[in-house]
Structure 1
């Protein structure tokens, strides 16, 4: 009975995350446009499958991966070995990202839209390697007690510099790839590792040193993917078709797995094997470090094994639900709004989707509560959520305007991060790690596919737009502007406190 109650709680949790999207889409569909979309029954089924998949996935994490991972982190912290910590951080970052559902979706779309020039499996491996390397670097930063703001200033100067030279076909994809690395698997694992280390080392502050690993995990893939794009579009063969990596979710592919050799079961089995391949790295990392490094048996082994199985089945259901529900909804809404010549409605829809989904984002709620505790009264979790949701809504709206206007993403991104770099220099030091981490947790497991489909749908529906050039990038805007709103709030709050101090003296 306890297990059933826990699973019911996970289902309700997943449904609650999806509910804001349902309300916004329902309002625009039935109140604004007053029409029933084609294939609404399939879309509804897809949404239900997404809820079930996320619930199974989260239940599996709670039963298997999280307890084992937390135990490993604590064990390495007690041993005090920097090499072991760096190795574990690299492997954990790599394994968590290679299995990230949103990255699988974005990489699959990029491969299909680029007609094989961008290899989905290579893209995922590159992003995962970047996150693993930067997680190891972030561990060194925590151990040495370095301030994060210099890392971010130098890093984003490099991001902007590489953007200047990168081909326009890769820029939006690169920033989206950075944005989706911090999601349903990565944020809890990496954030817990950073905060746990900071609290276990004497002289470290949980707010200043514990946060920041997520921010680094967002930044470095932006650089590496753009460098990959420069190489691919400079030296690659335009006609080469790459082998598909993982579960490819094409924009037009809104049906479940195609039967192989006339068998539906075989087709579904092949997709499930693909999911096993996607989750296997993180399971291997956990088992290797558990049995070969610390040489201890896993507590409650049968419970952990059930958790691993639920992760795989839940991930498969999640991807299937995306094909049936969220991608078709995003594309359908984009096409309908553009067909009505209602540009203002498109902006309103983008703003509402951004704000509603972010306010319900569980990772944001968790980090807001952790920040409130660590800040000891200087920050309020509810205020942080409002600021981040406002930033996401503004960012997605500006990103939609870029697609509609046909402007180059280079100038928007470079301008946005120029502002971020300036604010990083001016903001109070305690807010910088948190602000960058908040920019990385704004894109949830249901928001990313919907926002990605919205961008691709708009680019497909507007004449003269290139889907690969114009369709990607909305996730990047959703990551930039929360950083700006949070740091602006901290700067203003700091000025107010100083002004009050001057008046009282």
Structure 2
């Protein structure tokens, strides 16, 4: 019990540390730029506290119940060497992890609200989860066969860009954001462990070249699927976005909807919905553990306790979002626009992007894994700086698009055209890692804030459509880290050749 409490305390500090960059940036802007305290600050502070507790409970539950079993199952299937079971396990693992992804839940809820129900949040999550499941299965085949990631990504993003050209404006930003949030607090550790573990266990495979890339594929394919969904949904014409007053009401008030006039029954219903979200992960683990591996679970009580913590953590996280992070993003957008100084909006966007990315735990973990796999060719801290700079630049450019009202189509298509060219030019060892880094840049804390910032700007700038202009910032945060990391690798390769020629 003492060890569990100490671990929870560590995770609580870890969650608070992830939130601190946002608190510091917002605090500095409020005190030095806006010089005012935001209205309704107390619920926001309480919401942020609930977010910290929720993330800590969620992580504790993952560590106790889900991650150990997931890693064990990955190792067992790698040892078996059965491609069919590996593919099936990869599909189920990808699907179950994404369907319970907190950031995707947050984005889906906002999309359903802003589209006045035309986009169904549950259908959106289901499509994204299915596409990730399929692509993880394909990624397993790629590792097993030893294929280079280059052509998968070049062909895939050519398809993405082509569909973007025909997709309605109402779905483009959301589609790219949906791809960006699929790889996060739940997905990255499970999928990355599967890819690296499989590459290490197969003779002739390289952990850096072949082990990375599953995360990249999991980001790309949902962009295609959601855009196709949007073409169908909006074929009858787009709906008008709800008024700003409705968005602001839903941002914080009524964070628990009563059932039969009872708040307690409302909380119980929400907890049951969270259990429904986590049920696919539980089902996958139990089915593969007992029917395929045919071994009993070790430490059953600990595993059950872990699942319970995951459910309560998810619930607290969503409540905290509604109380804290969404209102902060919209409030900051409104205050910055009221300053009538566009420069401060750009500075805020850059600072939020850089500060939150530097504290991103998934990025730190991937950076360490890449440094180990590269055997001296890469430095983990340099990777973090490059990725943080890419995210900061991306969010700033995304904010500029909202301010100017430019079409997202050309920005996205241009960005990925650059990515495709760099993929052909970059050294092979960096490609899979660069794409993976583009998928782990947005944390469970960053995504809701950045989403709310985009929606807030689109809501308060005259002539902007919230559904068309409000989404897309996460997409920009995913594109530009790929560019900065590949450019760095190309520059290092060029400098190495130049030194050889001059000596």
How far apart are 1:122 and its partner, in Å? 0.7
Instruction: Could you tell me which runs of 5 or more consecutive residues in structure 2 were left unpaired when the two chains were aligned.
Output: none
Q: Which residue of 1 aligns with 2:361?
A: 362
1:12-91 superposed matches below 5 A:
12-91=13-92
Q: Which residue of 1 aligns with 2:476?
A: 477
- The 8 Å contact of residues 458 and 466 in structure 2, kept in 1 or not, is answered as yes
- The 8 Å contact of residues 256 and 267 in structure 2, kept in 1 or not, is answered as yes
1:198-209 superposed matches below 5 A:
198-209=199-210
Structure 1 distance, partners of 2:338, 2:58, is 37
- The 8 Å contact of residues 251 and 323 in structure 2, kept in 1 or not, is answered as no
Structure 2 distance, partners of 1:235, 1:56, is 43
How far apart are 1:189 and its partner, in Å? 0.4
Structure 1 distance, partners of 2:455, 2:272, is 28
Q: Which residue of 1 aligns with 2:302?
A: 303
How far apart are 1:254 and its partner, in Å? 4.4
- The 8 Å contact of residues 208 and 433 in structure 2, kept in 1 or not, is answered as yes
Structure 2 distance, partners of 1:189, 1:335, is 38
Q: Secondary structure at the match of 2:251?
A: coil
Q: Which residue of 2 aligns with 1:269?
A: 268
Structure 2 distance, partners of 1:404, 1:320, is 30
Q: Which residue of 1 aligns with 2:152?
A: 151
Structure 2 distance, partners of 1:340, 1:236, is 36
Q: Do the aligned partners of residues 102 and 72 (structure 1) sit closer, same or farther apart at CA in structure 2, a change above 3 Å counting?
A: same
Q: 1:375-412 deviations in whole A, cap 9, x for unaligned?
A: 01100000000000000000000000000000000000
| TM-score, with length taken from structure 2 | 0.97
How far apart are 1:273 and its partner, in Å? 1.0
- The 8 Å contact of residues 107 and 120 in structure 1, kept in 2 or not, is answered as yes
How far apart are 1:503 and its partner, in Å? 1.3
Structure 1 distance, partners of 2:345, 2:105, is 27
Structure 1 distance, partners of 2:139, 2:153, is 11
Structure 2 distance, partners of 1:232, 1:460, is 23
Q: Which residue of 1 aligns with 2:425?
A: 426
Q: 1:153-190 deviations in whole A, cap 9, x for unaligned?
A: 00000000000000000000000000000000000000
Q: Secondary structure at the match of 1:84?
A: helix
Q: Secondary structure at the match of 1:252?
A: helix
Q: 1:80-99 deviations in whole A, cap 9, x for unaligned?
A: 11000000000000000000
How far apart are 1:116 and its partner, in Å? 1.1
- The 8 Å contact of residues 105 and 249 in structure 1, kept in 2 or not, is answered as no
Q: Do the aligned partners of residues 22 and 398 (structure 1) sit closer, same or farther apart at CA in structure 2, a change above 3 Å counting?
A: same
Structure 1 distance, partners of 2:18, 2:142, is 34
Aligned length: 497
Runs of 4+ in 1 over 4 A off after TM superposition: 235-239, 248-251
Instruction: Could you tell me which runs of 5 or more consecutive residues in structure 1 were left unpaired when the two chains were aligned.
Output: 242-247
| TM-score, with length taken from structure 1 | 0.97
Q: Do the aligned partners of residues 206 and 250 (structure 1) sit closer, same or farther apart at CA in structure 2, a change above 3 Å counting?
A: farther
Structure 1 distance, partners of 2:356, 2:226, is 27
1:128-277 superposed matches below 5 A:
128-235=129-236, 252-277=251-276
- The 8 Å contact of residues 251 and 327 in structure 1, kept in 2 or not, is answered as no
- The 8 Å contact of residues 438 and 483 in structure 1, kept in 2 or not, is answered as yes
Structure 1 distance, partners of 2:106, 2:51, is 13
Structure 1 distance, partners of 2:237, 2:307, is 38
Q: Secondary structure at the match of 1:203?
A: coil
Structure 2 distance, partners of 1:341, 1:260, is 44
Q: Which residue of 1 aligns with 2:416?
A: 417
Structure 2 distance, partners of 1:119, 1:401, is 29
- The 8 Å contact of residues 109 and 250 in structure 1, kept in 2 or not, is answered as no
- The 8 Å contact of residues 170 and 238 in structure 2, kept in 1 or not, is answered as no
How far apart are 1:456 and its partner, in Å? 0.1
- The 8 Å contact of residues 254 and 328 in structure 1, kept in 2 or not, is answered as no
Structure 1 distance, partners of 2:389, 2:238, is 42
How far apart are 1:256 and its partner, in Å? 2.0
Q: Which residue of 2 aligns with 1:464?
A: 463
Does residue 1:115 correspond to 2:113, yes or no? no
Q: 1:113-166 deviations in whole A, cap 9, x for unaligned?
A: 111111111110000000000000000000000000110000000000000000
Q: 1:185-211 deviations in whole A, cap 9, x for unaligned?
A: 000000000000000000000000000
How far apart are 1:252 and its partner, in Å? 3.3
- The 8 Å contact of residues 175 and 476 in structure 1, kept in 2 or not, is answered as yes
Structure 1 distance, partners of 2:206, 2:437, is 18
What is the RMSD computed on CA atoms of the aligned residues?
1.4
How far apart are 1:255 and its partner, in Å? 4.0
How far apart are 1:32 and its partner, in Å? 1.1
Q: Which residue of 2 aligns with 1:244?
A: none
Structure 2 distance, partners of 1:250, 1:323, is 10
How far apart are 1:11 and its partner, in Å? 0.1
Structure 1 distance, partners of 2:333, 2:283, is 41
Q: Secondary structure at the match of 2:329?
A: helix
- The 8 Å contact of residues 257 and 268 in structure 1, kept in 2 or not, is answered as yes
Q: Which residue of 2 aligns with 1:245?
A: none
Structure 2 distance, partners of 1:54, 1:196, is 27
Q: Greater shift after overlay, 82-91 or 265-274?
A: 265-274
Structure 1 distance, partners of 2:269, 2:327, is 23
- The 8 Å contact of residues 254 and 325 in structure 1, kept in 2 or not, is answered as no
Structure 2 distance, partners of 1:63, 1:383, is 32
- The 8 Å contact of residues 393 and 478 in structure 1, kept in 2 or not, is answered as yes
Q: 1:53-85 deviations in whole A, cap 9, x for unaligned?
A: 000000000000001111111111111110000
How far apart are 1:109 and its partner, in Å? 0.7
